[in-house]
Structure 1
Amino acid sequence: MFKLAYKNLNKFVVFLAIFCLFFQVAADLILPSITANIVNIGVVKHDISYIWKTGLVMLIVSFFGIVGAICNQLLAATSSQKLGVKLRSFMFRKVTKMADGDFEKLGQASLITRTTNDVVQMQNATYSMLRMMIRSPMMLIGASVMAYFKSPRLMLVFAAAMPVLALVVILVMTKSVPLFKKIQALTDQINLVFREGLTGVRVIRAFNQDEFEQNRFKKANINLTQNAINAYVITSLMSPAMTFIISASNIAIVWFGAHLIAGSLMPVGNLLSFITYATQMLFSFMQLSMIFVVVPRAQASAQRIQQVLDIKDTINDPIKPKKLDPIDDLKFSHVDFTFSGSSKKVLDDINFEIHKGQTLAIIGGTGSGKSSLINFVPRLFDVSGGKVLINGDDVRDFSQSDLHKHISFTSQKSFLFEGTVRGNLKYGNSQASEQDMNRALEIAQANSFIQEQGGLDAPVEQGGNNFSGGQIQRLSIARAVIKRADIYIFDDTFSALDFKTDANLRQALSEDKKIKNAIKIIVAQRVSTVADADQILVLEDGKISGLGTHQELLKNNSIYKEIVDSQLHKNDILAKSGGKIYA
């Protein structure tokens, strides 16, 4: 925790906070002695002028103490909040660049908890550190020294009180710290259940599992609540216990102090100041003990944050990246791929080449490696063996930013951002004009239903939940085609479209001059979607089973022939394709 805070806090601001805190502590320690002098000299000797002069000194000291406290609190609050800003920014940046394997390993719910709740714990601990964690030891030591000079004999009361205080702290810490650490894991769990309930609400209703999910959430909620109650009940016992010990100590101090005053061994003012110092000492000890509640919880949170920040980026830019010119060709040369921790190859010896103006279609069974293959082009993954070449150069020789400028990618899982249709389209091209956006909607066959819902300013709910699956796909395609790129990748983004819309969309893509001259890669399940492609790559178990045109594969590739036969009857194909597929 301290290492993470030290790396991300402004050292000068921290120094100023401690410097201001010094003035506050100094003022708090000086005031009881001044009070003692007023009583011993001014009150006892009836010296009114001394009382006024010393009272003015008290006001000045109090003023500096108040200024120091305000400045320290302001700087502590500012530093802790800025630390939170930095940590959240670092974690968000890390997550956006994180490999899919690491992302899935940690889980979305846990990452959300780490970015929110765990960062808040670090903020609270940092604020406490710059306030109580530094102030309490300073006050405890200073008050002890000042109290000793006022009456060494009364310090014996603390010799009896301190072991009792220490025992209370140890008992509370032993019981509460494990519970506070467990709270973070239980927070992850409740976030996971709640998030799944929100995103899967339609599935829950469709299968009538409302009661099951409610019980599931109730169980997670009760576990978190009960654990938190146990933790806070235990720690709440510390305050009354400390108050009792402090009160008992003050009674003992007054009792023994009264005997010392009666024996003329101590002035009255010294007893008053000693009581104040004693209270400062015991409260400082109590505050210090509370730190031991905050720190272990923050330490657990810091470890979880650091775990995310320590994940090494598996996809990095070269030290001296090459400049990427307009793309003329794309080539896969003996490409292999294996997921981390697995011995089985997902893709094995993949070889093909495609030039600008051509369309490559990829088809194959579920789990054959289609999506994995196209992820190498924008470097969402890096190959385990072989090379992916653009214009003859390895894609790893270019910066990711430069590479992504030339590639437009439509993911298999279509996703829309909350806002408007206009905002989602501008996500693909921030400089797009209204004409460009309308043209993209026309190509994606989305113009008609968008106009019905209000045009470009039609609202889009989170994830596009106010649109059907096919409409979301079409809007995702519109967002992709509005970007002027050299390579367009469509990862099974036609699956929710009917045959007519599918055909019209592909026809519109072929008629757009810019897209027509680009490289197009289409991953699809339907033969009708890929039949017109310049090359069709057939994948089976991560290997190329066939590569050629539709007619070539239909004649000499049994796997492709089986896919065709499994999807459509000959008469249906002839009717829908004008005789092309079996021609």
Structure 2
Amino acid sequence: MKLMLKYLKRYPKLILLNILGIFSFVAVQLGIPTVMAWMIDNGIGNSDIAYIKKMGGIMLIVCVLGGAGTILLTYASSRISTNMIRDIRNDVFIQSQNFSHTEYNKFGVSSMITRTTNDAFQLMLFSNMLFRTALLAPVMIFISVFMTIKTSVSLSLVIGGSFPFIVAGVIIIAKLTNPLSKKQQKGMDQLNRISRENLTGVRVIRAFRKSEYESERFAETNDNYASNSKKLFKIMSFTQPAFFFLLHLAMMAVFWISSLMIDKGTLQVGQLVAFLEYQFHAMFSIMLFSMVFVMYPRAQVSANRIQELLDEEPLVKTPTNGITAENKGVVEFDHVTFQYPDGELPVIKDVSFTANKGETVAFIGSTGSGKSTLINLIPRFYDVTSGSIKIDGVDTQNYDLKALRQKIGFIPQKAFLFKGTIEDNLRFGNPNATPEEINHAIEVAQAKEFIENKPKKLQEYISEGAKNVSGGQKQRISIARALVRKPEIYIFDDSFSALDYKTDATLRAALKKETKESIVFIVAQRISTIMNADKIIVLNEGEVVGMGTHKELLKSCNIYYEIADSQLTKEELER
């Protein structure tokens, strides 16, 4: 497989050790029967004790060398397989970090996890067998067959007669297992997806009393996976009994023919003992080699799935020699239109505006009007379909992607915290932040009070999924994380929705002072959150239907007035 060959080139020394281990192992396995035949025919047959002792000493030396060769083979094959899969997983993870939202939607998060874990594990099993067996078996077969022919041409014909049956069996099993392997891996994707949905959505499931339905849905998918696995394992388990059946038939034929030859004096007992050993190693190596072909379809499916990820070209790419530093403090949307790659119609249509340093630009509109999609274009989570977004006069597509995102402090619509301490999460914004900078950030974000009330304060542990903090606390920690970074551009994607009105007002007042040298973009549903913004943009079905200050829009934009009228009192509207 091309995928494996690509990574194997990195370990020539280990491959060389593996080959040395193979030849050492073969020399021992086939050397001992040869020495034993000499011992029986020349030593025991002639009652030559000195010769027997001499052959015994040689056999001991061969065993010691064989043990060393076996250890070397096991070490080299294990190191190669584990190192290769480590590199593959690293590359898959790095590739996934370069994906845009489009690629994540295409593959699905559950499938990507399966490819990184289970598919990589299947490749590791296969590669380990490959280096311990697939390279060993051909050498063992060739030398074993040569030794059988050298020992007795007549008896070796028995082995030759069994070869076609083994080859035919391998081909049949490979054809049967390939489609089942594909179904099995897809079934694993489904199991991971359902498990992930149930674990993250457990509250919703319980609230709607759908536990029984979800259990049935999981059981059905699990049954399908188990059914495909049973069929696959039944076919694979058939190979070993079938092989030993052929081996025993061959041995019976050998015993019958050899008894006639010994009776005629054309074959010695020691030669028969050696031949049986050669025969066993030859046929057992063929079985091991056939197992590689049996496992190959499954490994090939996994390799193809991993290769599909690695070959995927991200839609959002960092340009060669991209711009890394500009600091003029201007963001310009120039007739921006955006359509999702798999969409039929644009969701953002001909949007133009300019934001300058120190300004706060807010976006409001009904659900689905395109607010979050619009601001996701700034850090290039998606690329615009037409038009351009310029930061400091440079098109964002000409920026080095890392440098572009370094300019931005992004607080997502759904606050996300990592497992670890509160301080760990804050330093995610800036690993080199001083304690003073961290304390200042949590004060501005109005997070200091609840953090100080925690038993361990900044060292308080955030659980997986941040289940041990409230929605408002998550939002304030997320805001503090962005503040620690001190970016040129702040993007608040409905980041105040879980805050009460008092905390919201206090936080915005503190932010106004903190961000006076930055550009601030705010997406909000509450008029009170954005009414003091320098510029408010009203969106409806992806189009700008109003732009101006709060007072200007109350007079000039019906949609904005309707939103304000639903949230503010009559006195507040007339103020």
TM-score between the two structures when normalised by the length of structure 1: 0.94
Q: Secondary structure of the equivalent of 1:153?
A: helix
Write out aligned runs for 1:164-175 (5 A): 164-175=165-176
- In structure 2, give the amino acid aligned to 1:421: I
Quote the residue 1:207 is aligned against.
208
Quote the residue 1:527 is aligned against.
527
How far the C-alpha of 1:161 sits from its partner, in A, is 2.9
| d(CA) in 1 for partners of 2:165, 2:390 | 73
Q: 1:173–1:292: 8 Å Cα contact kept in structure 2? A: yes
Q: 1:327–1:486: 8 Å Cα contact kept in structure 2? A: no
CA root-mean-square deviation = 1.7
Quote the residue 1:121 is aligned against.
122
- In structure 1, give the amino acid aligned to 2:6: K
Q: Secondary structure of the equivalent of 1:101?
A: helix
Q: 2:103–2:314: 8 Å Cα contact kept in structure 1? A: no
Give a deviation string over 1:182-222, Cα, whole Å, max 9, x none: 21111111111111110000101111111111111122222
Q: 1:326–1:406: 8 Å Cα contact kept in structure 2? A: no
Give a deviation string over 1:64-100, Cα, whole Å, max 9, x none: 3322221121111011111111111111111122111
| Structure 2 unaligned spans of 5+ | none
| d(CA) in 2 for partners of 1:551, 1:235 | 75
Q: Secondary structure of the equivalent of 1:46?
A: coil
Write out aligned runs for 1:485-524 (5 A): 485-512=487-514, 515-524=515-524
Q: 1:469–1:496: 8 Å Cα contact kept in structure 2? A: yes
Q: Secondary structure of the equivalent of 1:482?
A: helix
Q: 1:332–1:352: 8 Å Cα contact kept in structure 2? A: yes
Quote the residue 2:188 is aligned against.
187
- In structure 2, give the amino acid aligned to 1:334: H
Quote the residue 1:8 is aligned against.
7
| d(CA) in 2 for partners of 1:505, 1:407 | 19
Quote the residue 1:578 is aligned against.
none
- In structure 1, give the amino acid aligned to 2:527: V
| d(CA) in 1 for partners of 2:99, 2:18 | 36
Write out aligned runs for 1:373-388 (5 A): 373-388=374-389
Q: 2:177–2:298: 8 Å Cα contact kept in structure 1? A: no
Q: 2:336–2:350: 8 Å Cα contact kept in structure 1? A: yes
- In structure 2, give the amino acid aligned to 1:582: E
How far the C-alpha of 1:326 sits from its partner, in A, is 2.7
Once structures 1 and 2 are overlaid, which stretch shifts more, 142-151 or 251-260?
A: 251-260
Q: 1:538–1:545: 8 Å Cα contact kept in structure 2? A: yes
Give a deviation string over 1:318-351, Cα, whole Å, max 9, x none: 2222231334211111212121133411212211
How far the C-alpha of 1:105 sits from its partner, in A, is 1.4
| Structure 1 unaligned spans of 5+ | 575-580
- In structure 1, give the amino acid aligned to 2:136: R
| d(CA) in 2 for partners of 1:177, 1:361 | 55
Quote the residue 1:570 is aligned against.
570
Give a deviation string over 1:418-472, Cα, whole Å, max 9, x none: 1111111111121223332232222222222222232111221112111222221
How far the C-alpha of 1:168 sits from its partner, in A, is 4.1
Q: Secondary structure of the equivalent of 1:352?
A: strand
Quote the residue 1:577 is aligned against.
none
| d(CA) in 2 for partners of 1:164, 1:431 | 67
Q: Secondary structure of the equivalent of 2:539?
A: strand
| d(CA) in 2 for partners of 1:508, 1:42 | 98
How far the C-alpha of 1:167 sits from its partner, in A, is 4.5
Write out aligned runs for 1:545-564 (5 A): 545-564=545-564
How far the C-alpha of 1:58 sits from its partner, in A, is 2.5
Q: Secondary structure of the equivalent of 2:499?
A: coil
Q: 1:365–1:540: 8 Å Cα contact kept in structure 2? A: yes
Quote the residue 1:80 is aligned against.
81
| d(CA) in 2 for partners of 1:323, 1:482 | 21
| d(CA) in 2 for partners of 1:485, 1:231 | 55
| d(CA) in 1 for partners of 2:336, 2:322 | 22
- In structure 2, give the amino acid aligned to 1:430: P
Q: 1:369–1:541: 8 Å Cα contact kept in structure 2? A: yes
Q: Secondary structure of the equivalent of 1:488?
A: strand
Q: Does residue 1:582 correspond to 2:561, yes or no?
A: no
- In structure 1, give the amino acid aligned to 2:508: R
Quote the residue 1:43 is aligned against.
44
| d(CA) in 2 for partners of 1:415, 1:301 | 32
Quote the residue 1:481 is aligned against.
483
Give a deviation string over 1:223-281, Cα, whole Å, max 9, x none: 22232222222322222222222223223212221211111011111101100011111
Write out aligned runs for 1:180-259 (5 A): 180-259=181-260
Once structures 1 and 2 are overlaid, which stretch shifts more, 218-227 or 115-124?
A: 218-227
How far the C-alpha of 1:509 sits from its partner, in A, is 0.6
Q: Secondary structure of the equivalent of 2:153?
A: coil
Write out aligned runs for 1:6-155 (5 A): 6-9=5-8, 10-12=10-12, 13-155=14-156
- In structure 2, give the amino acid aligned to 1:505: L
Q: 1:551–1:582: 8 Å Cα contact kept in structure 2? A: no
Quote the residue 2:261 is aligned against.
260
Give a deviation string over 1:494-514, Cα, whole Å, max 9, x none: 1222222211110111133xx
Quote the residue 2:286 is aligned against.
285
Once structures 1 and 2 are overlaid, which stretch shifts more, 94-103 or 39-48?
A: 39-48
Give a deviation string over 1:515-541, Cα, whole Å, max 9, x none: 222111111111111100001111112
Write out aligned runs for 1:307-322 (5 A): 307-322=308-323
Q: Does residue 1:337 correspond to 2:329, yes or no?
A: no
Give a deviation string over 1:273-293, Cα, whole Å, max 9, x none: 100011111111111121122
| d(CA) in 1 for partners of 2:459, 2:11 | 47
Once structures 1 and 2 are overlaid, which stretch shifts more, 379-388 or 61-70?
A: 61-70
How far the C-alpha of 1:143 sits from its partner, in A, is 0.7
| d(CA) in 2 for partners of 1:342, 1:214 | 33
Q: Secondary structure of the equivalent of 1:430?
A: coil
Q: 1:356–1:518: 8 Å Cα contact kept in structure 2? A: yes
